[in-house]
Amino acid sequence: MPEGFERGLLARITRTVGEHYRIIHANPLSRIGFWVVSVFTIVAIFAPWLAPHEPWAMQYDSEGSIASLRPPSLEFPVGTTHLGYDLFSQLILATRTTLIIGAVSGFISIVIGANIGLVAGYYGGKIDEILMRLTDVLYGMPFLPFIIILIALFGRKLEFVILAIVLIIWRTSARVIRAQTIAIKQRQFITAAKARGCSNLRIIYRHILPNVLPLLLLYAAFNIAWSIITEASASFLGFGDGTTISWGGMLYELWLSGKTRVAWWWFAAPSLCIITLVTSLVFVSRAYEEVANPRLRKR
Amino acid sequence: MTDTNLLSVANLSVGYSTSQGVVNAVSDVSFDVRRNEVFGIAGESGCGKSTLIRALLRLLSNNGVSTATSITYEGEDINSFSDDKFRDAILWKRISLVPQSAMNSLNPVYRVGDQVIEAIRAHRSVSRSEARERVEFLFDVVGLQPELMRSYPHEFSGGMRQRAMIAMSLALDPGLIIMDEPTTGLDVLVQEQILRRVREIRAEVSSSIILITHDIAVIAEMSDRISIMYGGKIVESATAIDLFESPFHPYTLGLKNAFPSISVMDNELISIPGTPPALIGEESGCLFEPRCPFSDATCAQILPQSHSVGEMHQVSCHRHTDVTELREKASKKSTWHC
Amino acid sequence: MALLELNNVSRHFELRPGVVERVLRGGKTRVIKAVEAINLSVAKDEILGIAGESGCGKSTTCSMVAGLLPPSSGEVLYRDRNVGEMTSSELNDHRRRVQMIFQDPYESLNPRFRVSDIVSEGPRALRLWGEREIEEQVAAMLAGVGLPAGKYWDRYPHELSGGERQRVGIASALVMKPELVVADEPLSMLDVSIRAGILDLLKELSRQRNFACIYVSHDLSILANIADRLLIMYLGQAVEVGSVHDVIKNPKHPYTRALISAVPVPDPRVKRSPPKIVGEISRPVDPPPGCRFASRCPHADQSCSEVFIKLDTNSPLAHQAACHRLEQINSEAT
């Protein structure tokens, strides 16, 4: 055993984090994406302390009148709504909601998708058929009617938004990971693992999973991006959670106010945030695309 | 250089530019191929033998650059030909190639016979029926029944596909055929059939053959003269018999030790320690030096020159004069693994 | 008592036609008879070589011996115990005793595992020892294959050469101290100058650690060097068995004769004159009864396509060939 080679848990975590850091920073695009996502994450974490005002508190200007529909200024960097609400505060707090929904939905959906893909791909046969029929059924399920029904039945709650998103989004990653599992299980090192005495479960989670990990992380980033867009769409159409504010919700309120043509700042800020965050996530996923498919790497 | 030389290559070098620097795949290689001979080039993977051939036939990939003092074929300086002229006048017509993994070189969606016919008609203006007659003749030469012309590549076994590629290489009556690992991956009996065919063809057709392989046994049986390549250079050249009876270069000595023979059972095999060189960047001294048990101070610093040690026998080694002592030491395992 | 015995072992694979073929051509299920009724035995401490060309069934036989594939019929007996009837705890124990070394050093190691993880995997999966003990055993094993732990412990496969990778593969098989090692063409993907070292390593380790070995290869030159006994297979059937010296110097079966004389010799002064065998190996799909070499055999007669001789494992040291025309062939030659 080499001297100084730490095998403790902390050391393993540091090493893994280091590896991923290197992967992401190898690619200029993903480096940019990573920093952008980090900024958003920090904003989301410290949102309540960063937001100067309450999101739904009427703001007054220095002359005492309601600061309604003000364009961006030093006092209100993103302007105000028709009711005088500070959009900057709203934006910051919405960042937190959006990121939470995105991260949670993305994470749950990738966990479900990965497990289904791994199990279906590895065992094949009846198990594979049943799981894939299930996936196909969900492929056929249209998102909007589904979420409408959920909301109609159970009300506009955050949990149902997340549930609806997860149920739609896990299917693509399941298919893709199943395909890669099938490819990997034919490889000789899996036969070798069987010969060494590994059980099926051990092979799936200890031997195959690390090899689909790049693909998995790629789809994790995608899933988070899709979740964000889906949530924004749902909120924009009025099906989001009513009690918290999200970027899509901000656009919904803009639409409700009828001031879309007038208040360009109200429209621009949340939209830009959505586009920027989603694009950055896709950039980050590019780094894993190269790991998952080494042929994409430059000579 | 006399009239008996079909092909003369002088100082051929090939470099690939990669993100890690220039890879000197072939360094300063010179050799001749005479008329009516089988010239074998032996070496392990990475020694540069396939790159050498691709450079000769101008089939290098984009990041490869080849330079040579001269390359003459039948007295003509083909190195100065433009790429177009080379492709028209030389490739397939006067020098043809049976490529490595020939089995994968056939287009799966066309019939085998049609592919050979098209190859002929691309280089010669003959009618389709004339080309077909020629292909029937060629199939017969390589031992394939003419009905098989109508088959698709996937219906052919590995051995049959190889024969089809040999037929294609003979199509335009070239004076020189280059065979790159012609029997690698084939079963023993099929290999024997193919090699037997090649010998028969050679007797009938009087082309010369350059045979490239890592299989020492095949090259020993088939070649008239052999060159051994290591690290992009030719380290020893001799007639086949001379090379086996009087090897000079330590690498040759090592290969002899490492190669099992079915006729000499139970002998102790001795491997060569170390790994092949990386070929990147500037070289100084002999590339075999890190693995050579006989290296001395000059070996790592000065590039060995080619010395003539017998009739048609050259070796690139500083210590060729001590060969009797080297041969004796090389037969002991302790020399190589201490 | 033989360590391992295969009695009348066959392995078939079914080729079921797709829907289209069934509709259009009334396709019926075809059967690939990859291994047909072979008998073989391995004593402890011996190296049995299995040779043959592609399609002969040697890899399938390997998988059956290693327990990766059950036989379609016949029994695989390990220490007189039928592997097919073992309980799961017996099977776990069996796994430890019979291990396999694989052909492709570039594919048989998990690219995401470090060398230490690869070699530790067997003992961990079978829960042989505690973590501390596993570390010590693995370090000792790595040293035993010439890869000092200080340098190789946390390397990844892609950082290693082919020869080094194959050593890791050998270490991961031997760390569990098996009694029988099945080596499936372990040298064919390595450079020539490296092969001798690995072969030597195997010979030495098998002597040191007292395990029997089944060495499968198409390369008779290597088998001539390492094996004690040799079994020749053709298209799923066992055609000849005997000591390696007997089989190579005095081959009896027409196929063996052709095979041995077709092997090129690395000496230009030696001239061979192998018999001319026409045709190619077919796939063992729906093969005819009788000897499968009959269609290509220069000495075959009518009875050859009907009768098939099986090698007798009761006298494992004898030199036998699965041909009932041996006497006639010899008398024809003289």
pLDDT digits 0-9 by tens, B286-303: 899 889 998 888 888 888
Q: Are A171 and A137 in contact (CB under 8 A)?
A: no
For range C57-63, the mean pLDDT = 91
> Which residues in chain C (168-187) have CB-CB distances under 8 A to chain A?
169, 172-173, 176
pLDDT at A298 over 50: no
Over A112-124, what HEC string results? HHHHHHHHHHHHC
- Distance between CA atoms of B144 and B136, rounded to whole angstroms? 9
Neighbours of C290 (CB within 10 A): 18
> Does residue B117 lie within any of the structural domains?
yes
Among the residue ranges A138-142, A224-228, B90-94, B175-179, the one predicted with the least confidence is A138-142
pLDDT reported for residue C307: 79
> Which residues in chain A (231-270) have CB-CB distances under 8 A to chain B?
none
pTM, two decimals, is 0.86
Among C69, C92, C100, C121, which would you mutate to test the A interface (most chain A Cβ atoms within 10 Å of its Cβ)? C121
pLDDT reported for residue B142: 87
Q: Average pLDDT, whole number, for chain C?
A: 88
Distance (Å) from the alpha carbon of C98 to chain A's nearest alpha carbon: 9
Could you give the percent of chain C with pLDDT greater than 70? 96
- Please tell me which residue, C13 or A143, carries the higher pLDDT value: C13
Q: Are residues B214 and B259 in the same domain?
A: no
pLDDT reported for residue A9: 66
Contact flag B18-A298 (C-beta cutoff 8 Å): no
Among the residue ranges A17-21, C33-37, C171-175, C256-260, the one predicted with the least confidence is A17-21
| Domain ranges across chain A | 38-48+87-296
For range C281-301, the mean pLDDT = 82
Residues of C in contact with B275 (CB under 8 A): 161, 163
Residues of B in contact with C163 (CB under 8 A): 275
C108 at interface of A, judged by CB pairs closer than 8 A = yes
Instruction: List, for residues A25-38, the tens digit of each pLDDT value.
Output: 887 888 898 899 99
Q: Are residues B275 and B209 in the same domain?
A: no
Distance (Å) from the alpha carbon of A184 to chain C's nearest alpha carbon: 10
Residue of B nearest to C223 (CA): B262
For range B42-54, the mean pLDDT = 89
pLDDT reported for residue C193: 84
B62 at interface of C, judged by CB pairs closer than 8 A = no
pLDDT at A12 over 50: yes
Q: Are residues B259 and B206 in the same domain?
A: no
C121 at interface of A, judged by CB pairs closer than 8 A = yes
For range B23-38, the mean pLDDT = 91
Picking from B79, B313, B95, the residue whose alpha carbon sits closest to that of residue B210 is B95
Q: Are A65 and A71 in contact (CB under 8 A)?
A: no
Among the residue ranges A146-155, A288-297, C100-109, the one predicted with the least confidence is A288-297
pLDDT reported for residue A190: 95
Instruction: List, for residues C155-168, the tens digit of each pLDDT value.
Output: 999 999 889 999 99
pLDDT reported for residue A2: 47
B215 at interface of C, judged by CB pairs closer than 8 A = yes
pLDDT reported for residue B227: 95
pLDDT reported for residue A168: 81
> Does residue B235 lie within any of the structural domains?
no
Instruction: Say which residues have a Cβ less than 8 Å from residue B38's Cβ, sequence separation at least 6.
Output: B202, B208, B209, B211, B222, B223, B224, B225
pLDDT at B1 over 70: no
Q: Are residues B72 and B175 in the same domain?
A: yes
pLDDT at A144 over 80: no
3-state secondary structure of C40: strand
Classify residue C76 by burial, with Cβ atoms within 10 Å: 0-12, 13-18, 19+: buried
pLDDT reported for residue C314: 65
A191 at interface of C, judged by CB pairs closer than 8 A = yes
Residue listed under structure tokens 């790497």: A297
Instruction: List, for residues B297-334, the tens digit of each pLDDT value.
Output: 888 888 888 999 888 999 999 888 888 888 888 888 88
Of C67, C68, C153, the CB nearest to A5: C153
pLDDT at A88 over 70: yes
Picking from B249, B242, B238, the residue whose alpha carbon sits closest to that of residue B305 is B249
pLDDT reported for residue B40: 95
Range of B20's domain?
Answer: 5-229
Residue of A nearest to B19 (CA): A299
Q: Which amino acid is at B70?
A: S
Q: Which amino acid is at B45?
A: S
Q: Which amino acid is at B19?
A: S
Of C193, C270, C277, the CB nearest to B44: C193
Contact flag B259-C192 (C-beta cutoff 8 Å): yes
pLDDT at C123 over 90: yes
Structure-block tokens of residue B227? 């060159």
The number of C-beta contacts closer than 8 angstroms across B and C is 127
Instruction: Say which residues have a Cβ less than 8 Å from residue A151's Cβ, sequence separation at least 6.
Output: A160, A239
pLDDT at A1 over 60: no
Task: State the pLDDT confidence band at B197, using cuts at 50, 70 and 90.
Answer: confident
Task: State the pLDDT confidence band at C334, using cuts at 50, 70 and 90.
Answer: low
Q: Are residues B118 and B180 in the same domain?
A: yes
Q: Are B43 and B228 in contact (CB under 8 A)?
A: yes
A5 at interface of C, judged by CB pairs closer than 8 A = yes
Write down all domains in chain C, each with its CATH number in brackets: 4-333 (3.40.50.300)
Q: Are residues B252 and B223 in the same domain?
A: no
Task: State the pLDDT confidence band at C145, using cuts at 50, 70 and 90.
Answer: very high
Give the rounded distance of the alpha carbon of B216 from its chain centre: 12
Q: Average pLDDT, whole number, for chain A?
A: 84
Could you give the percent of chain B with pLDDT greater than 90? 26
For range B7-25, the mean pLDDT = 89
Distance (Å) from the alpha carbon of C68 to chain A's nearest alpha carbon: 7
Task: State the pLDDT confidence band at C228, using cuts at 50, 70 and 90.
Answer: very high
pLDDT at A106 over 80: yes
Query: Where among B229, B263, B296 does a domain terminate?
Result: B229
**Total count of domains within chain B:** 2
For range B124-139, the mean pLDDT = 89
A4 at interface of C, judged by CB pairs closer than 8 A = no
Of B262, B266, B267, the CB nearest to C260: B262
Task: State the pLDDT confidence band at C184, using cuts at 50, 70 and 90.
Answer: very high
- Distance between CA atoms of C26 and C19, rounded to whole angstroms? 10
Residues of A in contact with C68 (CB under 8 A): 191, 194-195
Instruction: List, for residues B71-116, the tens digit of each pLDDT value.
Output: 999 888 888 888 888 888 888 888 999 988 766 778 888 898 898 8
- Distance between CA atoms of A162 and A164, rounded to whole angstroms? 6
Q: Are A106 and A224 in contact (CB under 8 A)?
A: yes
For range B179-190, the mean pLDDT = 88
pLDDT reported for residue A3: 46
Q: Which amino acid is at C244?
A: V
> Does residue B295 lie within any of the structural domains?
yes
Query: Where among B200, B229, B258 does a domain terminate?
Result: B229
DSSP letter at C107? Answer: T
Alpha helices in A46-195 (DSSP H): 47-50, 87-123, 125-140, 143-154, 158-185, 188-195
For range C318-334, the mean pLDDT = 80
> Which residues in chain B (146-175) have CB-CB distances under 8 A to chain C?
157, 159-160
pLDDT reported for residue A293: 67
Q: Are B265 and C225 in contact (CB under 8 A)?
A: yes
Residues of B in contact with C199 (CB under 8 A): 260, 269
Architecture (CATH level 2) of domain A38-48+87-296 = Orthogonal Bundle (1.10)
Chains that touch C (3 or more CB pairs under 8 A): A, B
Q: Which amino acid is at C11?
A: R
Distance (Å) from the alpha carbon of B18 to chain A's nearest alpha carbon: 7
Q: Are residues B279 and B141 in the same domain?
A: no
Distance (Å) from the alpha carbon of C251 to chain B's nearest alpha carbon: 13
pLDDT at C101 over 60: yes
Q: Are residues B199 and B279 in the same domain?
A: no
A209 at interface of C, judged by CB pairs closer than 8 A = no
A196 at interface of B, judged by CB pairs closer than 8 A = no
Residue of C nearest to B44 (CA): C191
Residues of A in contact with B18 (CB under 8 A): 299
Chains that touch B (3 or more CB pairs under 8 A): A, C
Task: State the pLDDT confidence band at A187, using cuts at 50, 70 and 90.
Answer: very high
Distance (Å) from the alpha carbon of C265 to chain B's nearest alpha carbon: 5
> Does residue B36 lie within any of the structural domains?
yes
